[in-house]
């Protein structure tokens, strides 16, 4: 099994080794692996950005709750007078 970092940094060497083994029909797989790896890294970056935003907002919410500035939003508990 090849290390993805090696494939990423040396796609032509990987392709040449495939040619040397007379398995030319597998050559497009190198490009497919590289594209999938690129998409995977992009998605991971997006996940990390979203996680950082969530953590930032959670910290802000925690600070506001400590100050007693909790706002009631939709679906929050209200007094018993709203019940039917």
pLDDT tens for 34-79 read 999 999 999 999 999 999 999 999 999 999 888 886 555 555 555 5
**Whole-angstrom distance, CA of residue 39 vs CA of residue 57:** 27
- Helix ranges (H only) for 1-84 are 4-9, 11-20, 27-66
Note if the pTM is more than 0.75: no
Kindly state the average pLDDT of the residues 3-31.
Answer: 96
Which pLDDT score, from 0 to 100, does residue 28 have?
96
Contacts of 4 (CB under 8 A, 6+ apart): 33, 37
């Amino acid at each position: 099994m090849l290390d993805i970092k090696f494939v990423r940094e040396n796609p032509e060497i990987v392709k040449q080794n495939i040619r040397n083994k007379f398995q030319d029909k597998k050559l497009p797989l190198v490009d497919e692996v590289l594209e999938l790896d690129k998409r995977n890294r992009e998605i991971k970056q997006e996940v990390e950005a979203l996680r950082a935003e969530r953590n930032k907002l959670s910290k802000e919410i925690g600070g506001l709750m400590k100050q007693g500035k909790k706002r009631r939003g939709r679906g929050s508990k209200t007094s018993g007078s709203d019940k039917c």
